[in-house]
């Protein structure tokens, strides 16, 4: 059971790291597609923005559920959610400003929105570093457990062989 627990915790850690990577990628996609639209006014970028903007907060909520047992992660996800909610509002303002202004001047909220993205990514990277440290600790545990198991099996074979010789 301890070995099963180990495997479950390693799988969970890998899943969390994967979700963090996906969330960071989604934020970068939003920034990239927004920038593309603001520079070109090509509506293709608006259609590309649709999926990442509709899934962004649900991806963060999934991470929140996955990290319900980790106080530090819950705090980080709260900050991430705050940054992302305001970032989506900035995005809407930026797009509206670009559509009504029709000039090359960026919206006053554009750079603030970018800062919020960077702040969210900073917290994501911090969470990823913690998860990778946990993964390393779990791998060290696995190595120790394997060594102990190997030693115990070797000892049992030795005792069994000795008992067989005596009988």
Helix 2-40 to helix 44-66 angle (10° resolution) is 160
Dihedral angle, C-alpha 157, 158, 160, 165, nearest 10 °: 140
**Whole-number pLDDT of residue 156:** 75
- Residue-level pLDDT at 10: 82
- Give residue 83's pLDDT band: very low, low, confident or very high (50, 70, 90): very high
Write down the mean pLDDT value for the chain.
Answer: 88
pLDDT tens sequence across 47-82: 999 999 999 999 999 999 999 889 999 999 999 999
- Distance, CA of 140 to CA of 22 (rounded, Å): 27
| Confidence class for position 103, pLDDT limits 50, 70, 90 | confident
Model confidence band, residue 139 (pLDDT cutoffs 50, 70, 90): confident
pLDDT-derived band of residue 112, with 50, 70 and 90 as boundaries?
very high
């Amino acid at each position: 059971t301890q070995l099963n627990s180990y495997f479950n915790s390693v799988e969970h850690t890998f899943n969390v790291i994967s979700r963090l990577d996906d969330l960071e990628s989604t934020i970068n996609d939003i920034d990239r597609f927004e920038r593309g639209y603001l520079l070109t006014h090509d509506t293709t970028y608006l259609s590309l923005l649709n999926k990442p903007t509709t899934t962004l907060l649900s991806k963060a909520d999934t991470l929140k559920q996955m990290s319900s047992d980790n106080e530090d992660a819950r705090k980080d996800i709260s900050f991430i959610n705050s940054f992302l909610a305001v970032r989506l509002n900035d995005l809407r303002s930026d797009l509206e400003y670009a559509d009504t202004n029709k000039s090359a001047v960026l919206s006053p909220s554009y750079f603030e929105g970018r800062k919020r993205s960077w702040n969210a990514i900073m917290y994501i990277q911090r969470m990823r570093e913690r998860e990778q440290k946990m993964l390393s600790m779990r791998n060290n545990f696995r190595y120790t457990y394997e060594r102990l198991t190997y030693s115990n099996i070797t000892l049992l074979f030795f005792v069994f062989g000795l008992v067989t010789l005596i009988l």
